[in-house]
Structure formats: C-alpha cells, structure tokens
Structure 1
C-alpha cells in the first residue's frame, strides 16, 4: 500500500463528502477509492469513516487522523516547493488579507520592502476586521489572530498577542486605579465591536465574565483607541493595537494579572492548494520578520 497516496485519498473523500465525488476529483474509479480506504483502515486497525448509502461521517479516530494527514501532506508539499521557490524569482499576483490595524502596522511595511525587491510581483491586499473565508473569496494567504477552528486551513505560527485593558492617565487619576475586575463595573467603557460589552477576566484557573458599562462602541479599532486616549472610557484591545499608545504614555495598562491567556497570530492558507513559488517565497521571507516583531 502506498501510504501517502492512501492518506491523500482519505482526505479527498472527507473534503468531497463522498467516495464517488473523491474518485471523480482524483480521476480514479470508485472501486479503487473504496479499496484504498479499506486498505488504510485495515493497516491502522481502526474505522476512519462511518458509511451509509446516504452519507459518510468521521469517527473519533478518523477525526484525529485527518488532522495529522493534513499536516503531513502539507509538509510534503512545502518541502517539494521549497527548492523551486529558492531558485525562481516570484512573479504574478499574491492576494493577502489581514485585520485592518495589524495590516497597516505590520503587513504594509513588509510588502513595501518585498515589492521593491521583486518587480515581477503584484499584490492585492485586503484589510478587514472580520474572519475571511479565504477559500471562497480566493485569497492565497491570511493573517488570522485567534485559535484556528477550521481544519481545512494550514497555519504557520508567528507569535502571540493578548487583550490589554487600559485607560488614559486622566481617567485613571479621576476614578482611581482599579485593583480587581469588580472595580471596573461602573467605569465608562469604549469597545471595539458592539458585542464586546461582556469582558472575561482570568481568575486563576477560571474565567469570570462581567457586564461592562459601555458608553461607546465602534466597528473600527482606530476610533475606539482614539476615544480611550481622549479619556472617554477604558478599553480592551489587543496588545499590538495599543502598544504605541502605551509607550507614549497616552494609555496606562490596567489589571495585567487578570488578562486572559495569550492568543496565537498566524499565517493561514488552504491545505488543498499547492503553494505557488510566489506564496512560498513570501512566507519564507515575511514569517521570520513577523516573529521578531511579535517576540515569538
């Protein structure tokens, strides 16, 4: 049995939703796909899929094995393209999406430097504060901040960030520095995203949630940050979003001992899309620099 071929067939079956659709996608007969799956299950001594006349579904073992198959196949693809990426100059279109402020602060400067070195490349950059479906919307790469729930994506870790609670010095002087999350209950709060008036605080091994006194919400980070700096209210934003204001003394960090666990920052790309030379080359060049910035 060709184990790698069997693994790729298994992944294709899951992605296509049926054995017959997988057979069409990889140009093999349905019978050969059935045999490949059966051989793989016999080799592993576990059932990977529950099959009926109408549908297939992953077993618990199949779900765990699927994640590992995706990683292994992606690593093989990366290894095969790595040498080509080093030999050839990247050219063509590279489409990237990132959160607005992260993109403005970190991705745009990188792209400016990178494009000056590679005149044959053109970039389409989309900055938007929502989770983009990069497969449906046709992006090569995305910056994703948070834990990756979609197993159809491959991630490249870049570092960590965390939510920081902060307020202007004038507001802290007027109300008094809070000692516990309860002290913030009656503070005026400005939030990014109208649904974030519930804040969770780390309390040892548990998270406690508090309803906050929101005086303004915005769908843009910059406006929320400006309101906090002006003294309108305390806010909670990601560290990279407030780092400059903290450094300049425009904001003061509050209750650091109650901050939630840090969250990952990563490049993500579709597992089923072979990385082109231009994507691979940009990843290899940009990732180390972003890791330096994020302290990874």
Structure 2
C-alpha cells in the first residue's frame, strides 16, 4: 500500500472507529488495514490510535494528524474530480480547415452550433481552396472532399457528395445539352483547379471521362458558378 493509500486508510479508521469497518469501506481486509496503520505509526514514530478489544480511539497526536490529513485528502479529491471534469467538458482551441465555399456553407454553421453548446471552446477556421498541411499550419481537423492519398493522418468519412455538371439555361439554348462525356469536347467550360493550372479531365461515376474546352480556369468555386450563370460555359459543382 503506497503512502497516499495509507493516509486514506488512516482517515477511514478514524471515521469508522475500527479496523474491520474501515476495511469493509475500503474494500480490503482488517488485517491489511492494521498493517497499514502500524507502518504509518512506525514511519512517524508516534502512536496514532489507542487500541482495545472493544474500540479504536485516536491519540492526541492522531487527532492533530487527522486535522492535517483530512484537508489534504479533500483537496486531492477535488483536484481529481476537476481533472475528470476537464476531460469530460470540451475546452480549448479547435482549428479547422475546409474548402472555401463548402466551409462557409456547411462547416461554419456546425462550428457555430458547437461553440454555443460548448462555451469553453474557441474556434479558428481556415477556409481556402488549397490543401492545408495540418502540422505545418497548426490545424486539428481538415474537411477534405476527395479520395485521400495514403498518409500518416487519421481519416474518417463523414459523408458523401455528388458532383454535377451545370450550365445556365441561355448557354444550353445556344449550344445544346451534352448527353455523354465524349460530347464535352464540343463545349466550353469553367474549370476549378487549386493552383489555377490545367485541371484533369472530368471523370464520372461510371469511369468515363470527358475534356471540355477550358474557357476559364480558376481556384474559386464562386467565380466558376458566377461565370456559368453568366452563360460562359459548363462547370461542375457539388
């Protein structure tokens, strides 16, 4: 039994007025309690209890020692409870990154609800259209819309999205509606690219691909959608 447990044992005996009752409260045998108290008295070189066949009573030295021990053990208990509470209650800074438009439309409302439910949490969000390095930029969580490459990071799928090819009604009236990916080569498009360089061919769920004529390449979903609404060409959106 370590020293802290011995002190708890001492207080239990003082409260119970006997070794057997204290042992039952502590979940150990009366013999173990007796040995612990004897070891404590030997350590302190003082008699803490007067023992008789009928009862156990604190000595004057035991009374003083109890008065000193009880607040210490109470403080320790409160510290342990506070530590458990700190684990149970969310607190601290949470840093999240996500693609810009998706972050604004979908992540930000969730963060707002979370902060209102957990007032001891502070949030930092970085909504940008580039791949953010979590360690280098001190981020806790990244929302990624992609098939992830293997890495040392832990990934959890939280949902799925469907990407659509869209265009303005005016554009479709002028140029017609493509019916198959191989027809995309006959159409102009506004394409998204993280670095505004030439994007990859458009890939569809059935494995087919198509490469439209790139009228505009940007790294902004808002720009792509605005250009499509203006009738410049096709674009893809979630």
Q: Same fold (TM over 0.5)?
A: yes
Equivalent-residue separation in structure 2 for 1:162 and 1:203 (angstroms) = 9
Q: TM-score, normalised by structure 1?
A: 0.47
Number of aligned residue pairs: 153
Structure 1, gaps ≥5 residues long: 1-83, 240-296
RMSD: 2.3
Task: Tell me the residue number matched to 1:94.
Answer: 94
Which residue of structure 1 aligns with residue 171 of structure 2? 171
Per-residue CA deviations over 1:252-290 (Å, capped at 9, x if unaligned) read xxxxxxxxxxxxxxxxxxxxxxxxxxxxxxxxxxxxxxx
Q: Deviations over 1:172-218 (max 9, x none)?
A: 112112222232212121111233554234485x444x442111121
Q: Which residue of 1 aligns with 2:128?
A: 128
Q: Deviations over 1:66-86 (max 9, x none)?
A: xxxxxxxxxxxxxxxxxx699
For structure 2, the 5+ residue unaligned runs are 1-83
Instruction: Give 1:4-83 correspondences, 5 Å limit.
Output: none
Deviations 1:222-267 (A, max 9, x none): 0111111121111123x2xxxxxxxxxxxxxxxxxxxxxxxxxxxx
Give the Cα–Cα distance (whole angstroms) in 1 for the partners of residues 137 and 172 of structure 2: 44
Is residue 192–residue 199 contact of structure 2 (8 Å, CA) maintained in 1? no
1:200 maps to which residue? 202
The residue aligned with 2:226 is 226
Give, in whole Å, the separation in 2 of the partners of 1:160 and 1:86.
Answer: 34
Q: Pick 1 or 2: higher relative contact order, CA cutoff 8 A, min separation 6.
A: 1
State the structure with more CA Rg: 2
Q: Which residue is equivalent to 2:74?
A: none
Identify if the C-alpha distance between structure 1 residues 149 and 197 changes in structure 2 by more than 3 Å, giving closer, same or farther: closer
